[in-house]
Structure 1
Amino acid sequence: MKKTTGTSLPGNRGFPWKTLGMNEEWTRLQPLLRPGEKLRWAGRPDPGVRFAPADKFMVPFSLLWCGFAVFWESMAITREGPFFFILWGIPFVLIGLYFVFGRFIYKKRRKLRTVYGLTDSRAIVSTSERSFQDTSLKDIAIQTVRSRDGRHTSVFFGSSRNPAYQNTGLDFLNFGTAQGIGFFDVAEPEVLSRELDQVR
């Protein structure tokens, strides 16, 4: 598996990156920079990190949900219950399977195509060549959370409370909740922390 790290460069970020042999993260973010803006750090989330802090609650809940849904559906089928009961149980089984398995597949696929960037004025999250979110670093809350082993860090921009489902594969459940953006499961946290200290 390709090791996922962040990189930072000193000096002028206006040089032609491909000529300098810069990595794909820097190349992806270059077109997003505004005139005069300097990119201080670029990196990716580590796809090898599967669990978020919220999963200590989500995993037991997911297993209970999926187990009950499968039990309901199997009872409805084996006891030849009303056809409506069989149909009624199918969505709950599918939701349960997504809770237990699907969200981790979705989360890994999303991580593999996500790039993070920290400039002298913005935090940028690019999820594809054509899609990105950003937030100004001026007058916003920045919260940093290290993993227990100290090998990864997550940074939350613009929100004093972290929405419960962020980085769980269930992020869509935060719909309508005021939130900022985040860098999740970044390896080599010292590099990112140093650059954050420079722009705060």
Structure 2
Amino acid sequence: MENPQQRLQPHLRPGEKLLWSGQPDPRVHFMPSDAFLVPFSVLWCAFAVYWTWRVLNSGKSPWFALVGLLFVGIGLYQLAGRFIVKARQKRRTVYGLTDTRAIVLEGERNVSDVRVKDVPAKVRKHRDGAHVEVIFGASGLQKGYLNSGMEIFSPGRESPVAFFDVPDSDALLRELDRVR
């Protein structure tokens, strides 16, 4: 796969300078919201399995079993699937900071950007001290579930431009300070 600079080059505007580029670290799996999401997922999945098992053993309509299986599927996604999806997305994502914009490229065609000077930037260092996340313009509860793998349950909702789980934190923060 091409390096981040090569992947971002076609998305730069004339005269725009790429100051920093990088990718999220796919080895970072957990985030603060997982303190709630993981236990909730275990309870959801356990209840859905129990409910489905009870329905299957009660002789009730197969419709109830299908609904139960749907909820088991949702529980399994919450419990494990979201981590697989998140790791896959991270491998396909590159970040870029130019002299005017923050750019997120997911895959080859999904580009999100924001003028850095137009929105506030929230910077959060991870506990390990080696990774950082920068969220441009997010506010409220929405921030808590960004980068959780649960975005699939809110289709159509516009997510703010954000750099998650960046291992090269010093270089990114230095360039971000320079741009702002």
Match of 1:170 among 145, 150, 163: 150
Please list the CA deviations of residues 83-139 of structure 1 after superposition, one character each: whole Å capped at 9, or x if unmatched.
222122111011001000110000000000000000000000000122211111123
- Aligned residues of 1:43 and 1:115 also touching (Cα < 8 A): yes
Matched with 1:32 is 11
- Aligned residues of 1:45 and 1:114 also touching (Cα < 8 A): yes
- Aligned residues of 1:125 and 1:134 also touching (Cα < 8 A): yes
Matched with 1:8 is none
Matches within 5 A, 1:38-77: 38-77=17-56
- Aligned residues of 2:22 and 2:168 also touching (Cα < 8 A): no
State the TM-score, normalizing by the size of structure 2.
0.92
Q: Which structure has greater helix proportion?
A: 2
**Is 1:113 matched with 2:92?**
yes
**Is 1:99 matched with 2:78?**
yes
Where do 5+ consecutive residues of structure 2 fail to align? none
Please list the CA deviations of residues 134-182 of structure 1 after superposition, one character each: whole Å capped at 9, or x if unmatched.
1111231001000011010000002243613210001234556665210
Secondary structure in structure 2 of the residue aligned to 1:138: helix
- Aligned residues of 2:48 and 2:68 also touching (Cα < 8 A): yes
State the TM-score, normalizing by the size of structure 1.
0.84
Give identity over the alignment, percent: 49
Where do 5+ consecutive residues of structure 1 fail to align? 1-22
Matched with 2:176 is 196
Instruction: Tell me by how many angstroms 1:46 deviates.
Output: 0.3
What amino acid is the match of 1:80? G
The root-mean-square deviation of aligned C-alpha atoms, in Å, is: 1.6
In the alignment, the residues of structure 2 paired with residue 145 and residue 177 of structure 1 have an alpha-carbon distance, to the nearest angstrom, of: 23
In the alignment, the residues of structure 2 paired with residue 125 and residue 178 of structure 1 have an alpha-carbon distance, to the nearest angstrom, of: 13
In the alignment, the residues of structure 1 paired with residue 40 and residue 16 of structure 2 have an alpha-carbon distance, to the nearest angstrom, of: 45
